[in-house]
A and B are shown apart, each in its own frame.
Chain A
Amino acid sequence: MATILYFGKLSSLFGELSEQAPLPSEISDTATLRKWLDETRGFDGALMHNSVRVAVNSEIVSDPFPISNADEIAFLPPVGGG
């Protein structure tokens, strides 16, 4: 099971801060994960926006970055402000 975290407005869209999900065998990197989650979790394109960065085990990475079921993957909209 991978741990997937959604921050900022993504947490509002998803309705939760995180989920535990078994990754389908064809999902092996952050780019395919992003597309799969966007389509199956009702993000309707919000996860595909290029301002949304992705971190694997607390390190910011560039798509496509390899992932497995042991990883924590976080989607991070722009930070700061206010």
Chain B
Amino acid sequence: MIRVTDQPFTISDAVTEFERHAAGAGAIVTFSGLVRPQSAEGEVVTLHLQAYAPMTENGIRHAVDAAAIRWSLGAVQVIHRIGDMTPGDPIVFVATAAPHRRAAFEAADFLMDYLKTDAVFWKKEVTASGSHWIEPRAEDYRDRSRWKQQEES
């Protein structure tokens, strides 16, 4: 299940919905990403996200399919906000369900690395000193490359 939405969502509701959907799994891992109050540029006023439908959804679907090939998963949920957010707002929710915990942990980690580097989103941060568009950090690419190294070894 993939949802890219300009509507706010509540993490507890997302967890409850996923638990229902993943009934019978032995392990559920959920990750929630929130808008940070501080950035390198200062105090964050708003974070604005753009997506390109349907390219953004299609890309996430491919990543979910890749995770399902690599790990034994019962269910996967990705919710990603677009539009305007303020610090503390949930921006991303990833949930994975599997028979055992290792697959659920690793698949959630893999999907987050995809969402941080390759997913089709553009982020603009507005601080007291102005606004700027965020580009991936070197460590985001490093995080993602862990999965490629594992495939090769």
Contacts and interface: CB of A to CB of B under 8 A. Distances in A.
**A, B in one complex:** yes
Interface of A: 5, 7-9, 11-12, 17, 55, 58, 74, 76-82
Interface residues of B, number: 23
A9 B131 CA distance: 10
A82 B52 contact: no
Nearest to B49: A82
B27 interface: no
Contact of B135 (A55, A58, A81): A81
Contact of A5 (B52, B54, B140): B52
Nearest to B50: A7
26 contacts: A5-B52, A7-B50, A7-B52, A11-B50, A11-B122, A12-B124, A12-B131, A17-B50, A55-B52, A55-B55, A58-B55, A76-B120, A77-B122, A77-B133, A79-B121, A79-B122, A80-B116, A80-B119, A80-B121, A80-B136, A81-B117, A81-B134, A81-B136, A81-B140, A82-B47, A82-B125
B114 to A, nearest CB: 9
B129 to A, nearest CB: 16
